[in-house]
Structure 1
Amino acid sequence: MYMSDDNKPIGWWLKEVDRRLEASFEQVLAADGLTRRQWQALNAAAGPESIATALAPFLTGDPAELAAVTDPLVERGWLRGDHLTAAGAEALGELTAKVQAQRKRVTAGVSDQEYAATVGVLRTMAANLGG
């Protein structure tokens, strides 16, 4: 049975947006030989959370999976443990500009109020689901 876009439920749209976001950011970062998870690890290393905590929603919890993300960054000299090196900070700065440009493309035509409302609705739904 065919469902028009108007009749597709929120779960369908969540999965579709997630799939497209993953693919678009992978494409943007591929030119620099990075995955989206590696970008997230670099970004997390610049903040207060540990990389493992920041990536927890995207990984299974297997330490080998986290190592598969971070080891290439260590080998490039961009990470030392959970901390950015000087080279990592420089790379993060350059990559951030590319990621911000992609985010701008993704949210084109969406007002700040619409974006905030969407995030708020999703946050509420997640809280309603618990966990």
Structure 2
Amino acid sequence: MDRPIGHWLKHLDNLLEEAMDQALQSTTRREWQVLNRAAQESTYTMPFTGVDEAVERLAVRGWLADGELTDAGRAAHEEIYQKVGRFRQKVLEGVSPQEYVATVDVLHRMSANLDHRREAPAGSGDDHAVKTVAP
């Protein structure tokens, strides 16, 4: 624990990317994120790099059409959702729900402190919601 938070954030993100790609096998983490977002909100607007490429690959597979899941996409989403659930369990071994929520809250506030696009100052009350959703 002798390294700063930036080290651990980047290290964890790299590990998540690599391990999730292995867990999902034929689908990448970014493709899953797009697929899952489409399943939840019928949109795939996301603030990540590689989203456009993931959308294109999902469309080529016939899983997305005009930004919405196809029947094949819904079936793929359900199958991948199960894999992601198992992956999340592994990632969160030894981490209590309270620790997870607290960690996400702290990272959210740290991000808000540096996000110049934000209107409300960090720590100004309940201006953020924390969902208990893992990587």
TM-superposition CA deviations, 1:22-69 (whole Å, max 9, x none): 111011122xx2111111111111122621x22x2x21xxxxx54421
Q: Structure 1 vs Structure 2: percent identity of aligned residues?
A: 45
Structure 2 counterpart of 1:123, from 102, 108, 121: 108
How many residue pairs were aligned? Answer: 116
Equivalent in the alignment of 1:25: 20
Equivalent in the alignment of 2:29: 36
Q: CA deviation at 1:94?
A: 0.6
The answer to whether the 8 A contact 2:63-2:70 is kept is yes
- Runs (4+) of structure 1 exceeding 6 A deviation are none
Matches within 5 A, 1:9-88: 9-30=4-25, 33-48=26-41, 50-51=43-44, 53-54=45-46, 56=47, 58-59=48-49, 66-88=51-73
TM-score of the superposed pair, with normalisation by structure 1: 0.82
Equivalent in the alignment of 2:83: 98
TM-superposition CA deviations, 1:77-110 (whole Å, max 9, x none): 1111210011110110010000110011000000
Q: CA deviation at 1:13?
A: 0.8
User: Which shows bigger deviation, 8-17 or 66-75?
Assistant: 66-75
Distance 2:65 2:42 in 1: 15
Do the aligned partners of residues 127 and 71 (structure 1) sit closer, same or farther apart at CA in structure 2, a change above 3 Å counting? same
Distance 1:67 1:113 in 2: 35
Do the aligned partners of residues 107 and 89 (structure 1) sit closer, same or farther apart at CA in structure 2, a change above 3 Å counting? same
In terms of fraction of residues, the more helix-rich structure is 1
> Which amino acid is 1:15 matched to?
K
TM-score of the superposed pair, with normalisation by structure 2: 0.80
Distance 1:49 1:76 in 2: 17
Gaps of 5+ in 1: 1-5, 60-64
Alpha-carbon RMSD across the aligned residues, in angstroms, is: 1.4
Gaps of 5+ in 2: 117-135
